[in-house]
Structure 1
């Protein structure tokens, strides 16, 4: 468990600390997948750009006078097959990461909203209710998790 969450002894009970820990874990998972998706997306864009530039230089410009000549030149180079398969595979991997990222975001947002909705139950005592803003500020400052409002 995170040390800053452990230090919330008198302000929260054990169940609340576990919920806060889970929301931190899901936020980290979402951030990791978001970064991976961004890296793979840019790799796909750059690879596609350079592949199209390569095709333009090696196939289209030298054989622009005939489609049959372009097709023949394209098929004669085996690296074109490998490059197109790799580019399409990278595009598919990018889409897979996007769906994983969206799923992780939904899980994170659902748990975050659940904490917000149940805040009256989690901080039942009057003193705990008055001090809950300390917990919210700590979560915002340390983990960039907003527990004040349900909107992103």
Structure 2
């Protein structure tokens, strides 16, 4: 279990701790995919920029007098095909990470909303109910998970 959750021994039962641990895992998974997706976006843009500059300086600028000459030079240079496949592959990987990130966000959001909806059941006793704001504040402060309401 996460260390901050272990500190809440008197404020909740084991089932609630397990649910909070699961929401923390899903938040970390979502954050991981979000970071990877952002890196893939930047990688795709940088790769596309380099490829377009390569095409401009090796083909478009040199053979600008004729489209047929540009096309012929493009087809003859095998580096163009390699750069094109790498750029398209990076774009596909970026889209795959976007799908995984969306799925992880949906799972995280659904579990977080379930905690918000079932908070009366999870903090059943009067003492636990009075101390739940401490747990919510720590979850917000440490893990950036808002359990006060269902809005994102």
Same fold (TM over 0.5): yes
Normalising by structure 2, report the TM-score: 0.98
Match of 1:23 in 2: 23
Match of 2:45 in 1: 45
Unaligned runs of 5+ in 1: none
Cα deviations across residues 92-118 of structure 1 (Å, max 9, x unaligned)? 000000000000000000000000000
Matches within 5 A, 1:11-90: 11-90=11-90
Alpha-carbon RMSD across the aligned residues, in angstroms, is 0.6
Match of 2:115 in 1: 115
Match of 1:131 in 2: 131
Cα deviation for residue 143 of structure 1 reads 0.6
Cα deviation for residue 55 of structure 1 reads 0.3
Q: How far, CA to CA, are the matches of 1:13 and 1:92 in structure 2? A: 44
Unaligned runs of 5+ in 2: none
Runs of 4+ in 1 over 2 A off after TM superposition: none
Normalising by structure 1, report the TM-score: 0.98
Cα deviation for residue 40 of structure 1 reads 0.7
Query: How many residues were matched structurally?
Result: 152
Question: Are 2:142 and 1:142 aligned?
Answer: yes
Cα deviation for residue 67 of structure 1 reads 1.1
Question: Are 2:94 and 1:94 aligned?
Answer: yes
